[in-house]
Structure 1
C-alpha cells in the first residue's frame, strides 16, 4: 500500500531543513525503489521550501509510521504538522516529474 506523508515545517525551519537535507536524502535513498513520488512543498515563489510530500510503498501503516519516526527531518524536530494517509493511485502521471536521467 502506498502511504502519503504530508509534512509541514515549523516556522523558521528553513535553516534546519537545509542543514539536515543530505541526511534526509540518504534516508530516502534507502527506500528509493518504493517511492512513487517525493519532493518539497514550496511557497508560491516556487523556491522556498516549507514542507514535504512523500508517497512510498509500505507493507503496513505501522511500517510507514516507523519509517517516518526515523526520518532525519522528523528526528530533528523540523515538522509542525505530520499527516500520513493510505493512497490508491488511479491516475497515470504525466506532469510534474523531472526528466528521466
Structure 2
C-alpha cells in the first residue's frame, strides 16, 4: 500500500534545512526502493520552500512512522505539520539520478 506524507515547515524551517540537506538527500536515496515520488512544496509564489511530500509504497503505516522518525528534516524539528494519508499510485517515480544531481548542489 502507498502512503502520502505531507510536511509543512515551521517558521524558519526552510532556512534551517540547508545545513542538513545533504543528510536528507542521502536518507531519501536509502528509501528510494520504496519511494513512489517525492517533492519539495513551494510557497504560493514559487520562490520559497514550504515543505515536502513523499509517497512510500510500504506494507503498513508503521513503516511510514519509521520513515518519519528517522528522516533528518523531521528529526531536526523543521516541520509544523506532518500528515499521512493512504494513496493510490497513478504515475511512476523518478530515477536515482534526480536525487544524485540535487546532492551535487549541496555545499
Same fold? TM cut 0.5: yes
Q: Which runs of 5+ in 2 are unaligned?
A: 99-107
Query: Which segments of structure 1 move beyond 6 Å, counting only runs of 4 or more?
Result: none
Q: Which runs of 5+ in 1 are unaligned?
A: none
CA RMSD of aligned residues (A): 2.0
Question: Please, what TM-score do these two structures have when normalized by structure 1?
Answer: 0.84
- The structure richer in helix per residue is 2
Given that 2:39 and 2:52 are in contact with CA atoms closer than 8 Å, whether structure 1 keeps it comes out as: yes
Secondary structure of the equivalent of 1:30? helix
Q: How many residues align?
A: 96
Residue-by-residue CA offset, 1:1-44 (whole Å, 9 max, x unaligned):
11100000001112211111111111110011221110110012
Question: Please, what TM-score do these two structures have when normalized by structure 2?
Answer: 0.80
Deviates more, 1:8-17 or 1:74-83: 8-17
Residue-by-residue CA offset, 1:22-78 (whole Å, 9 max, x unaligned):
111111100112211101100123231010010111111011111111100011000
